[in-house]
Structure formats: C-alpha cells, structure tokens
Structure 1
Amino acid sequence: MAGVRAVVFLSLAGVVGLTLLVLGCALPSFGSWWPLFCITFYILSPLPLMIAKHYQEDMTGTNACIELALFITTGIVVSAFALPTVLAHAQVIHAGSCILTVMANVVLFGTICAYFYLHRDDDSGSWGASMF
C-alpha cells in the first residue's frame, strides 16, 4: 500500500510542477513559451546518475564515476534555474513567468529526488544510503 501512495504522490507532484511551468508560459499576461525549454533539463538531469549506477563497481565509499555524474547533474540542475533567470534579466520573459518557472523547477526536481530516494533499493541495493 505504501508503494501505491508513493506513486500517487510522485505523479501528483509531477502534475503540479508541469502545471506551474505551463502557467508560466501560457498566461495571457506572459505570452512567451521560452521557459518551456526547461523540460529538456528535467529529462537530462537523471541520466548521468542512471548511467553511473550501471558502472558502479564497489559498494564502499564513492568512486570517480559517481562523483562525475553528481557534478554533471548539478550543472544540469543549476542550468535549469539559470535559464529563466537569464531570460527574465534579458527581458525576454516577464518576472512572473520566471517565478512560476523557478517554482516548477523546485517541485519537479524535488519529485525527481524523491523518486530516486524511494527507488534506491530496487536494483539489488546498489544505491544504498551513500547517495544523500
């Protein structure tokens, strides 16, 4: 039953995040669809850690592959927050659109982190508790 609740929570959080992102683009006072490019960061952010998970050899400590994956993931997440900020600074989008996009980023990246936390033991326990 707890697994079903987790899936429902994650899907609800994903819907709320995507709704905030679309509202930041589609409201008539904003009218710019540039913040929608943040979806590429949502797709790219889990990929380095998923790839590094398959190449993790030992269970003790961290290795260079995991550290590089965390570094690349951090760059992707920072870029997702920087894109709407830079667009708002350049006056390509409105400040309200930037705020809604940043709120969507917080919700969706929190959802991605929650997914990895809840499913850390699925693949033979290779993630363990050393990730966070």
Structure 2
Amino acid sequence: MAGIRALIGLAFSGSIGMTFLVLACALPQYSNWWPFFMVAFYLLAPFPVVISRRYGDGTGNTNPCREIALFITAVIVVSAFGLPIILARAPELTPVIMWGSAGLVITANIIVFLTILGFFIAFDNDDVDYSMW
C-alpha cells in the first residue's frame, strides 16, 4: 500500500511541475513556447542512471559505470537549469523568453527533478513487484 501512495504522490508532484512549465509557456504576458523544450531534459535525465543500473556489476556503490552515469545526469540537470537563464538573457533588446517565464521554468525544473529523484528513492529496491503497476 505504501508503494501506491508513493506512486500517487509522485504523479501529483510531477503534474504540478508540468503545470508550472505550461504556465511559463501559455500565460498571455509570456506567450512563448520555447520553455517547453525542457521536456526533453525531463525525459533524458533518468536514462543514464537506469542504464548504469542495468549494465553495472552491482558490487558496491562506487563503480565507474555508475559514476559516469551520475556525472551525465548532473550535466543534464545543470543544463536544464541553465537553458532558461540563457534564453532570458539572450539579446538584451528582444529576449527569447521573459524573466517571469524563466522563473516559472526553474520552479518547474525543481519540482520535476525532485519528483524523478523521489521515484528513484521510493522504488530503489530490486525486489519491487512491478505487477502492481
């Protein structure tokens, strides 16, 4: 039952993060769909860790495969936080996105990446029964 509660909580927090992202794109004063490219970072972030868990030897916490996967994941997360700032600062006369939109995107990034981290913490066990999904 705790797995179901965790899954529902993660789904709720992920939907809140995506709501902030859509608000950054769709509010009338921002009305620009460039911030929606953050979804690519959200989809790419968990892949290195998942692949390293699949192909890692599993002996200990510090093996090179896991370390490289964590580094690549950190690069993806930092890039996701850097892109809206760069888009907001682009040319000073006509910025690609407004600073309010960048703030909403950064808020969405915090919520979605904490949701992804929460998923890995909640379902870290190898003996998780996947048939409950």
Q: TM-score, normalising length from structure 2?
A: 0.90
Change (3 A) 1:61 1:18: closer
Gaps of 5+ in 1: 126-132
Equivalents in 2 of 1:94, 1:45: separation in Å? 25
Letter in 2 for 1:44: L
Q: Which residue of 1 aligns with 2:121?
A: 117
Matches within 5 A, 1:38-77: 38-77=38-77
Deviation at 1:43, TM superposition (A): 0.2
Equivalents in 2 of 1:115, 1:61: separation in Å? 19
Q: Which residue of 1 aligns with 2:110?
A: 106
Gaps of 5+ in 2: 129-133
Equivalents in 1 of 2:19, 2:61: separation in Å? 39
Q: Which residue of 2 aligns with 1:8?
A: 8
Q: Equivalent residue of 1:99, what SS?
A: helix
Deviation at 1:124, TM superposition (A): 4.4
Letter in 1 for 2:84: P
Q: Which residue of 2 aligns with 1:30?
A: 30
Q: Which residue of 1 aligns with 2:18?
A: 18
Residue by residue over 1:73-132, the C-alpha shift from the partner in whole angstroms, topping out at 9 and shown as x without a partner, is 0000001001101001111100000000000000000000000000100x248xxxxxxx
Deviation at 1:61, TM superposition (A): 3.6
Letter in 1 for 2:8: V
Deviation at 1:7, TM superposition (A): 1.1
Equivalents in 2 of 1:30, 1:58: separation in Å? 47
Percent identity over paired residues:
48
Equivalents in 1 of 2:123, 2:61: separation in Å? 20
Q: TM-score, normalising length from structure 1?
A: 0.90
Letter in 1 for 2:74: T
Q: Which residue of 2 aligns with 1:88?
A: 88
C-alpha RMSD over aligned residues:
1.2
Deviation at 1:2, TM superposition (A): 1.3
Aligned length: 124
